[in-house]
Structure formats: C-alpha cells, structure tokens
Amino acid sequence: MSDHSPILVWFRNDLRLDDHPALHAAAKSKRPVIPVYLWSPEAEAPWPRGGASRWWLHHALVDLGKTLSDRGSKLVLRMGTDPFKLLRDLLEETGAGEIHWNRRYDSAGVKTDTALKKNLPAKSFRGSVLREPHEIETQNGEYYKVYTPFYKNVISRGDPREPLDAPDGWMHPDSFPKSEVMDDWNLLPKIGWDKAFYDEWTPTLAGAEAQMEAFLESAAGDYKDERDFPAKPGTSRISPYLHFGQISPRRLWHDAKAAAASGDAGGKGVDAWLRQLVWRDFAIHLLFHQPQLDLEPMQEKFSAFPWENNPDHLQAWQRGQTGYPIVDAGMRELWTTGWMHNRVRMIVASFLVKDLRIHWHEGAKWFWDTLVDADLANNSFGWQWAAGCGADAAPYFRIFNPMLQSKKFDGEGAYIRKWVPELKGLSPKDIHAPWEMDAPPEAYPEPIVDHALARDEALEALSSLKD
C-alpha cells in the first residue's frame, strides 16, 4: 500500500528551492509537503548565530516564506531548545510519515542528525557541498590536511553533478500546522547597527542570483589578477548567500563554467575562482574530520602558546582604532557592512594574533558576531590558518607587515580612504603609515604597538613554544 502521509522538509542552511535534493525528493514522492524551519539557538552551542548572521537569517526566511506562499505552500516556523522535540511534535500534529533534510557537517549538525535518524523516520541528502567530506580521501583512506592534493582529488573527479531545478510543483496538505511569527523571534538588532546592511545587501533568492550574474558578467574573468585588491570589485561577495544556501555550490560551479565556455568570462579567472570555491569544501572536510577545529589548534603545540590578555588592545582592534590604517579600514568595513574582503581578513587576523598576540579565539568570536557570512568551517579554518596552528596554515613565523600589505594591495589608499575618513586627505605616500608624517592627522590614533617590536616579541613567543 502506498504511503500518502505528508513529508516534512526541514530547511536549514539551504534556504532555496532549486538544487535542494531534500525538497526535490519530497516533491517527486507525490505526497503532501510541509516546509519547516526550526529556530533552536541552544542546539547550536557553543556557536549560536551572531548578530549579523541573525539579520541575514531574518530576511532570508521572510523571502523563502514568500517564495513558498507564491507556490501555494507555507513555511512553518517553530522555536524551541530541542529540534528533536520540535520535529516529533510536528510529526504527531501533522501525521507526517517522514522528515527530509540536507546534511550538515559541523559537530552540532552531525550530532542532531545522528540522534534524529536513530529515533525518527528520516532521510538525509547532500545539498550544501560540491563533494561530501567523506567522499574525498587520501590513498591511505585518511582525510586531507593539505589543500593542493585535496583540490587535485576533487578536480580529478570531474564536474560535480548538474544542479537540480526547483520542482515545478508539489502536493500540499489540506491544512498546514500553526506557524510562529517571524518578528517574535527578534532576530533583528535593536540598536540600528544594521542600517548600512540594507544598502549593501539584498538577502533574498533574487539577490543571490543577481549577485552571481553581476560577478560572472563583470569581474570573474579578471578574478585571478584582481581578487586581492580590496578597493576593486574583484570578488563575488557570494559568501553569505552560500552560507545560508540561497544559492548552491553546484549551481555556482556550473554557472561559472558555462560563463567561461560561452566566452562571457575569461577561463583563467573562472578556474581561479572555482579553486577558491573548493577551499570551502576543504574547510568543511576539515571540520567534519576534526569537529573541534573551532576551538582546538590542529597543531597541538599551539595549546601552550603564551597569548596576551589585553582587553584594551582587543577593543581597539574591534573598533578599528589600532592606528594601522589598513587594519582599521578592514575592521570598520566589517562593522558597517557585515563583510570584509578576504585579503583584509588575512591582514587583520595576522595583526590580532601576531602583532597583538591575542588568542585567535577572540578574533573568531568577533567575526562570528559581525560577519553576515559567519560560517563555522570557513571561520575556524581561516583563523587557524592566520594563527599558524591550522592545517596547511601560514607558518606563525611569517608575519604580515601591515604597511607593506597596505602598499601592495591598496597602493593608492582608496580602500583606506573609504573606511577611515580621518585619513581622507592623505597622499598615497603618507596614508599607509601616517605616524611618520611631520604632522599626522590628530583625529586618528597613534599605533597601539610598534610593528617591528611586536614582530620580535611574537617570534620570541614562538621560540619559547619550541623550547
């Protein structure tokens, strides 16, 4: 006898309709589909979403809700500490016979999924990666700790499969269960800190498509040469859409390849961009195999590193008041827009962990709260990379010189001028190190540390570790 009971489709970091294997399978079953989103910050401990991420989530859910209503469906919202209980209640209320979801690979996600699968009728699918973390392994059957061989393995498998189109339609239940009201979840900040986010971002499905289209049309071809210059629109800025799953990595992969094939975007630029997209899979691969990547250094000796506890320095860094223009520009861009250019993320991270010798955990926490693309795999991986304690990381002894980085990647100072208005009138010669001027602008702080001294101290701290 065929089963006509509804299927709950549990949306998580996959807030879209196309290339959504869990929804696709439910639609194909011809059984009624009930889309659900659960808000359970406690289940995400120790990483409940930060402020900027909540802002994005609010708008992404409103948009997904509208998209589903346009198709005669409804996004059912439920809040509670325990996803297991919320889903069990929904199964009981609706008489649903099955739950579908796309898999997550972080420890909180894996823990929840495993418990649910043991106890509830569930099917999980691959939705958020090019290749699943356990698909890619070394010849010895181990996971990869170095990027290049990982990348070669991914590439040797050819293109990931084509993305699935959004289902044309699906069955609806006679009635939907009660939904909570989005506004009651209070995801939006109360202090008006998000004002500029509205000018900067369109956190919707249409926004994701427009963002990618614009990148493929205008910047992808030059990505290889332009991606390191923060004043230029050289990168895709697709990261928050990818994190929330408003666009799938497989869709991005195939769209980028198609743009290269049609001549709309240069092949070299697209290849370089796809290589970057595979870094995301690498970070997920590492987090899956090293679930403590968010808290424990991959190189164990770093557990004994003599980090400094200096709240004043940490605050200066957070507020973009270190006296180093490129660092301050980055931190202010982050605060204002919820995003920061990758090159500048590397510079500010190096400054925190090497010039200030403040624990990378503090940087990861701040990014977690302020980035709209905050992502446990990429953020943990990025911070371990910067701190020199991660897999395939920049060695700790290789210390970025903020002035040289600034001159190399923001030579004219356009990026600094945009985010540090106190330095607006300075020439390209002065803007990277204003303290060297005869009369530096009074409104801008003096450097909080001397880079040359800080560098020596960092190297000394490293050598104490070796001893």
Residue number with CB closer to ligand FAD (27 or 346): 346
- Under the binding rule (CB under 6 A), the answer on residue 378 touching ligand FAD is yes
When binding is defined by CB under 6 A, the residue of 120, 122, 166, 277 that contacts ligand FAD is 277
Residue with token string 């001893």: 467
Q: List the one residue from 32, 382, 434, 447 that touches ligand FAD (CB under 6 A).
A: 382
Q: Is 243 in the site for ligand FAD (CB under 6 A)?
A: yes
Q: What are 123's strand-pairing partners?
A: 100
Q: Which of 399, 143, 82 is nearest to 291 (CA)?
A: 143
Coil vs helix vs strand at 8: strand
Of the pair 54, 280, the CB lying nearest ligand FAD is at: 280
- Residue from 20, 227, 251, 357 in contact with ligand FAD (CB under 6 A): 227
Piece of 35-43, 125-133, 371-379, 439-447 that binds ligand FAD (CB under 6 A):
371-379
String marking each residue 385-404 x if it binds ligand FAD according to CB under 6 A: -x------------------
> Is 379 a binder of ligand FAD (CB under 6 A)?
yes
In sequence order, the β-bridge partners of residue 37 are 11, 77
Closest separation between CB of residue 269 and ligand FAD, Å? 11
**345 touching ligand FAD, by CB under 6 A:** yes
- Gap between the Cα atoms of 307 and 430, Å rounded: 32
Sign for the CA dihedral angle at 220, 152, 248, 104 comes to negative
Name the minimum Å distance from CB 85 to ligand FAD.
30
CA distance 337 to 352: 20
What is the edge-to-edge ordering of all strands in the sheet holding 98-102?
Answer: 76-79, 33-39, 7-11, 98-102, 122-125
Q: Return the number of other C-beta atoms located less than 10 Å from residue 467's C-beta.
A: 4
Which pair of structure tokens corresponds to residue 111? 């823990």
Contact, 98 vs 7, CB < 8 A? yes
- Shortest spacing between CB 201 and ligand FAD, in angstroms: 12
As measured in angstroms, the least distance from the Cβ of 387 to ligand FAD is 9
Give the CA angle between residues 100, 101, 103 to the nearest 5°.
Answer: 140
Least distance (Å) from ligand FAD to the CB of residue 364? 7
- Residue 56 interacting with ligand FAD (CB under 6 A): no
In whole angstroms, the minimum distance from the beta carbon of 314 to ligand FAD comes to 15
Of the residues 193, 279, 435, 444, which one makes contact with ligand FAD according to CB under 6 A: 279
Binding piece for ligand FAD, criterion CB under 6 A, among 55-63, 123-131, 229-237, 317-325 = 229-237
Report the alpha-carbon distance of residue 70 to residue 65 in Å, rounded.
Answer: 9
Q: Can residue 287 be called a binding residue for ligand FAD (CB under 6 A)? A: no
Rank residues 276 and 321 by Cβ distance to ligand FAD and give the closer one. 276
* CB closer to ligand FAD out of 87 and 130: 130
What is the rounded CA–CA span in Å between residue 47 and residue 53? 11
Q: What are phi and psi of 77, to 5 degrees?
A: -105, 130
| Nearer to ligand FAD (CB atom), residue 78 or residue 243 | 243
DSSP, collapsed to helix, strand or coil, labels residue 23 as: helix
Radius of gyration of the chain (CA): 23
The answer to whether residues 387 and 353 touch, using CB atoms and an 8 Å cutoff, is yes
Q: Shortest gap between Cβ of 350 and ligand FAD (angstroms)?
A: 9
Q: Specify the amino acid at residue 178.
A: K
Q: Residues in the site for ligand FAD, rule: CB under 6 A?
A: 227, 235-239, 242-243, 276-277, 279-280, 283, 342, 345-346, 349, 367, 371, 373-375, 378-379, 382-383, 386
